[in-house]
Amino acid sequence: MNNVQPKGVTIRRDPIYLSTEVWRCLWIVAKAKETTPDELADNLLRESLNGIYPEVVKHHAEVTRMERSVIRDIGMKGNK
């Protein structure tokens, strides 16, 4: 099992509560797929959001792109 945290992952301070049934299902599938329940839940939620609310996913990608551009521009100013 890969315990290395992927880039872009943050640790939540407040837990997300799941029913025992949902947690147990995640745990079983995660074990079968050799991943963690958290990674599995993240992937399932991402796929669901992309299917139901693609405009939100697109918006997030655009905001991320703009933030990277601003960070890059600020870094370039600092190197002059």
What is the H or E stretch that residue 32 is in? Answer: helix 20-32
Contact 70, 35 (CB under 8 A): no
Q: Distance between CA atoms of 14 and 68, rounded to whole angstroms?
A: 27
Q: Distance between CA atoms of 32 and 50, rounded to whole angstroms?
A: 24
Query: Can you point out the beta strands (E) in 1-80?
Result: none
Q: Distance between CA atoms of 60 and 43, rounded to whole angstroms?
A: 16
Residue type, 62: E
**Domain residue spans of the chain:** 20-78
- What integer is the mean pLDDT of 6-27? 79
**pTM, entire model:** 0.63
**pLDDT interval class at 21 (50, 70, 90):** very high
